[in-house]
Structure 1
Amino acid sequence: MKGDDSRPRGYWWIIEPVARAIAVAEQLTRHDTRVFTAVIARAEEGEGGFDAARDIDDFIATVNANREHTGLEEIPEGLVRPHMFRHTMSIIAAQEPDGEIALGLQLKHAARRAMANRTTLACGKPDAKWVKEFDNQLQVAAAKRLVSLLQARRVGQTIAVGPGAARFHAGLDKVNDAMDQAGTLRAQVADERLEITLLRDEFADLHLGTVNHCLWNAPTAECQNQLPRDQRGQAPLLGACQPSRCRNSVLTLAHEPIWRMEEADLLTLLKKKLSMPRREQAMARLAEVRSATAQFDKMKENA
């Protein structure tokens, strides 16, 4: 345990960058026996260091005071302290494409990927207490991001491509039909609020991402092929997502810039001298990326 010399000493596997960082910290520490020590006292004495609670409060105040220039959303009032971040960050990061990989590195679960995946996924799994506090808010936040797509779909626009686009459109159409049939309810509840409620219920398993959106459905999820059979069907393994071919994958115009950038990067790479296996790999990936960008082109033509 940290700070408890009476407990047995434990050992962590770490990766080379972490080892180098610790070696640097050993040279910088002022403590005789510890690499990492509290620096609050020196911060209060004006000798540098940091006071986490004070610095977090200052950060929030600075963000809120400069929203007009930065365009950032206001951070709500409330007590925020360091210990609150780790689990929440783990759960949110685990829901993003490639978040499992980044999460494993951030949490230093880097001994072996096969072993680290189990630890990382466990840390990123919402427990009952977390779900009670945050899960509904996450669903509402996701629904809010879908409102503009719902409204575009209402006037007949094609707003998504990819293997899961038809299913995504069908879900949005179902919500729009419910809106049209809810005349009495719409008179009592503001339209956007009703939209959010219906979207949250229709897309309860939706995972929003920067590369694609995942309409989680275990039997058709490509990512589950990377897991042992007894672990499949519980949650998407977003680090193993195959967005261009998984039947749960949806691409919108908000995702297009990421795909265009990867296409340009691959074209630049292929202009260089490469080994035959690497060239074949890059060409295969380029074909996969272009299958997505071609769909974006077609969607714009039909708009």
Structure 2
Amino acid sequence: MKKTTYAIMMVLLSLAVVMPIAAGGSGERDATGTIGQLDPDILVFAYSPVEDPAVYEEVFAEFIDYLSEQLGRPVRYFGVRSYAAQVEAMRAGRLHISGFASGSVEDAVNTAGFVPQTAMGNENGMIGYRMAIIARKNSEIQTAEDLKGRTIPFVSESSGSGYFAPRALLYEEFQMLPNQDYDVLFSGSHDNSIMGVFYGDYEAAPVADVVIGRMHAGGRIDDPAGWMKTVYESPLFPSTAYGVSDKLTPELQQAIKTAFLEFDWEGTQLTMQWEQEDRFVEIDYERDWEVQRVIRRGSKSVAEILGE
């Protein structure tokens, strides 16, 4: 892998900034606002960057109206087009409430004073996904350590759960290095990796677990219970985190969090856009984002050892 690929990996895993983990950020971070003293007459909300922000402005319209009513002031939707712009807007005090995609949360916390409060979920808590290393039931492979000396089909060099996560976690937990303890090839997609294990072309493969269910539902593979076993499963990868700027007063921060947690999704656009979720649930940043920090650490270590 060339240095340019490693640079991309660092961006994707939010490795650009390594600062102390603190949900409220640091008062030395930014001179453009005072921590805990901002009480705007108009609040600004943004969802994470998407190709067409106007679509999500409509999706969140009912929720924005609800927030305005609950907080006793107008809340305006701001359509951001890049993660850098989203982080900078919060750092500068122009963005007050936002949903940051999972991979950008650490940068938002450490450089913009983002305070993660909630995520979308259901009665069982936050909904995310896991990286699973799967094999056929009749395989000799029983644990991740049994992958030593074998070939692992990663998805592609840009895949989070199909490349960055397994590469980092295999090193962090089992001290296994690519092209030293196991050989590497690329399948091109999660679907190809799963199909390869299903048909016996691959002995095992790391994939996003949610893709397995989708492929079974689509009739592309048999019921996994009949042919597949999971030899390794990662902690839950968190979803988009919703929260506030630490510049807001503590009272306003708490009022926003309460409003999120008490919002009734029934009959709203949110339920149509996110069919598995039906509420906002409270999150614990240090606990829920630990897997991202482990992957960051492991990715950096592997790259340094291999001279990438």
Larger radius of gyration: 1
Name the TM-score class by shorter chain. Answer: under 0.3
Bigger proportion of residues as helix: 1
User: Normalised by the size of structure 2, how large is the TM-score?
Assistant: 0.27
Structure 1 length-normalised TM = 0.27
The answer to which structure, 1 or 2, has the higher relative contact order (CA under 8 A, 6+ apart) is: 2
